[in-house]
Structure formats: C-alpha cells, structure tokens
Amino acid sequence: MISIGGKPPPTLITATGLDSSSSPKLGFVIASAPSGGSVINLRSRGSLRIKAVEGSRRVNLNGKVDDSKDESTNGHAGRNFTQLSTVGSSTNIKWHECSVGKVDRQNLLKQKGCVIWITGLSSSGKSSVACALSQILYRMGKLSYVLDGDNVRHGLNHDLGFKAEDRAENIRRVGEVAKLFADAGVICIASLISPYKRDRDACRALLPDGDFIEVFMDVPLQVCEARDPKGLYKLARAGKIKGPSHLVVYSQ
Ligand SMILES: Nc1ncnc2c1ncn2[C@@H]1O[C@H](COP(=O)(O)OS(=O)(=O)O)[C@@H](OP(=O)(O)O)[C@H]1O
Ligand SMILES: Nc1ncnc2c1ncn2[C@@H]1O[C@H](COP(=O)(O)OP(=O)(O)O)[C@@H](O)[C@H]1O
C-alpha cells in the first residue's frame, strides 16, 4: 500500500492478408487443421481475411506468438473455455475468449492496464488526487479513467446506500468495473472511501499480482472534518445522516 500524506485458449486467429475487392462480404470455410484442430476461414471481401484455429496456441493480431498464460488470456488463465459453468444461480454460462487480448490492447496504447485504488476518509482529498493524477497521465500521453465514488453512485450504484452491506456491494461493483478497465489496457483510478480492508482486498484479488495499487490518504480525521466541503461531518455529528459512524470508521 502507498500512503500519501489450464488449457490453452481454444482459438488462434491470424490475419492472413488483405483483399482488395471492394464489396464487403463475410464467409466461413471450415476445414481440418494440420494440428488436428478445426480451422475456420473467415473471409471478408474488402477487408482482411481471418483464420481461426481451435485447440492451438494463440497468436496475437500483431503476429506475435504469445504463450504467457495470464496476459494473453486476459487474466483468465486456468479457465476452461469450452465447458459451461455455474455462476451464482445461473447455469450454462460460458466464457467467450476473444482473439484481441489484453496484450494487444496494451501494445496499442503503449501502456500497462492497472488499477490505482485511492482510499481514505471523506474529504481526505481522494477525488482531488485522482483528478490530478489523471491530468498528469493525460499530459504524458497515457490513457486513464477515474471511477469516483460520488460519480458512480449517480448511475451504476444509484441503488446503494451507506450501510456496511451497501458499501461492500459498491466496492465489489467498482472493483469489477476497474478490472475491466485494466483489462482494456487503461490505467483505472478508483477513488472511494472503501473503509473496509476486506472489501479492498477482494478487489485486489481480482487482478494479477502488482496490478492493484492501493493508495491510502493518510489525513487525520480533524483535518478532514475541518475541510468538510459537503457538510457531511456536521450532519453526522448532529446525527442527521444515516450510519454516521461509517463516515469515520476505517480499517487500514
Ligand atoms: N453515511 C453517509 N451518508 C451520506 N453520504 C455519505 C455517507 N458516507 C459517504 N457519503 C458521501 O458519498 C460519497 C461517496 O462515498 P463512497 O461511495 O466513496 O463510499 S464507500 O466507499 O461506499 O464507503 C462520499 O464522497 P467523499 O466525501 O468524496 O468521500 C460522501 O460524499
Ligand atoms: N492537499 C489538500 N490540502 C488542502 N485542501 C485539500 C487538499 N486536497 C483536497 N483538498 C480540499 O479538501 C476538500 C475535499 O477534497 P476531495 O478531493 O473532494 O476529498 P474526498 O474525495 O476524499 O472527499 C475539497 O474542498 C478540496 O479542495
């Protein structure tokens, strides 16, 4: 933490060349591959021809062979890509692997996708630091995106309040979204109070080692309370907002 203050993927796809004819049309030709797997030739007149081979090693669209488990499988190494699985109460859920992977996207963006998780008390400066960091990265030509607690609660998490269970669900959802951003190759900056260590640890566990960087805004409660731009501490002290103790509770 920083303090301030199994099986190979089933599909191999190669771009086999450009076709100069103009009318775009897609066609599939299925044949046997020398490796024993099936080959699907996907022809697109007017664009490029793509060949998909099952049961083989993966080749990225840039032509590089990639055997590295974690990155080339979008961090889903060990998943069985062909079998149906049960997720929650749903059965028959299948993981669909795409030929364009995290490595391709990272190469395109010339950066590494990751999550910078800024945690701390209300008014400790999380949003300010998140925006400043995003601005610096932008100037450096790096693509980032800020997932701010306040903002996310306007949409995706508008149904959640501030009970411990709601906060846990808030963090879980943002953690999942942040993981998708990182998988997209984006530097995702999440700024949420996220007061419970267990919830933050659960988000960290979603990502490969080292890709979740936790930043704790180590600002004393008195300083946060003196800032109080939203008047939240005042309301909490007056017992006028729900779960006032949750405004000051924090586990490092
Ligand atoms: N108990 C309570 N009641 C009313 N409002 C509250 C409460 N706790 C937090 N807030 C405000 O909600 C903002 C977003 O909180 P978070 O989503 O970051 O909180 S959490 O991570 O789910 O704990 C949070 O934003 P910041 O002040 O920027 O931290 C607060 O403005
Ligand atoms: N380093 C700082 N020094 C003084 N004031 C700050 C600092 N960082 C943020 N602030 C101010 O404190 C208030 C809360 O900052 P904010 O970034 O919204 O915190 P949080 O997202 O943690 O609630 C704002 O009025 C902001 O301008």
**pLDDT of the residue at 82:** 62
> What value of ipTM does the predicted structure carry?
0.98
CATH code 3.40.50.300 region(s) in the chain: 111-248
- pLDDT of amino acid 130: 98
Phi-psi region of 15 (alpha: psi -120 to 50; beta: other; left: phi over 0): beta
Residues, the chain = 252
Reference 147, options 136, 157, 137; nearest CA is: 157
Q: Please tell me the number of the ligand nearest to residue 248's CA.
A: 1
Q: Ligand 2 centre and the CA of 148: distance in Å?
A: 13
Of 190, 188, 191, 214, give the one whose Cα is nearest residue 126: 191
Pairing label, strands 38-45, 48-54: antiparallel
Looking at 3.40.50.300, 2.60.40.1080, 2.40.50.100, 3.40.50.2300, the CATH number of the domain 111-248 comes to 3.40.50.300
Q: What pLDDT is attached to residue 9?
A: 31
Q: What is the number of H-type helices and E-type strands within the chain? A: 9, 11
**Amino acid 148: pLDDT:** 98
Instruction: Write out the two tokens for 30.
Output: 């299925």
Nearest Cα to 100, choosing from 91, 109, 87? 109
Atom number of ligand 1 nearest to Cα 199: 21
Q: Which residues, 6 or more positions from 128, have their beta carbon under 8 angstroms from its beta carbon?
A: none
Q: What is the pLDDT of residue 67?
A: 41
* CA dihedral (54, 56, 62, 63) positive or negative: negative
Ligand 2: which of 4, 119, 123 to mutate, judged by most atoms within 8 Å of the beta carbon?
A: 123
pLDDT value at position 45? 41
Residues with Cβ < 8 Å from 56, sequence gap 6 or more?
8, 11, 12, 33, 35, 37
Mutation pick for ligand 2 pocket among 227, 233, 247 (CB with most ligand atoms within 8 Å): 227
Sheet holding 114-119, edge to edge: 2-4, 212-217, 114-119, 187-191, 144-148
* Residues forming a β-bridge with 78: none
Sign, CA dihedral 157-163-169-174, equals positive
Q: Look at residue 103 in the predicted model and tell me its pLDDT.
A: 97
Residues contacting ligand 1 via CB (< 6 Å): 122-123, 126-127, 149-150, 153, 162, 167, 170-171, 192-195, 230, 232, 241-243, 246-247
In sequence order, the 6+-apart residues with CB closer than 8 A to the CB of 241 are 162, 232, 235, 247
In tens digits, what is the pLDDT along the chain, a chain of 252 residues? Answer: 777 773 333 222 222 332 333 333 333 333 344 444 433 333 434 443 333 333 333 334 444 444 444 444 444 544 555 677 788 788 888 888 899 999 999 999 999 999 999 999 999 999 999 999 999 999 999 999 999 999 999 999 999 999 889 999 999 999 999 999 999 999 999 999 999 999 999 999 999 999 999 999 999 999 999 999 999 999 888 888 865 455 777 777
For ligand 2, atom 1, name the residue with the nearest CA.
125
Active site amino acids: 194
Residue 128 Cβ inside 6 Å of ligand 2? The answer reads yes
CA of 193 from ligand 1 middle (Å) equals 6
Token pair of 194 as six digits = 């996220």
Q: How far is the CA of 122 from the centre of ligand 1 (A)?
A: 6
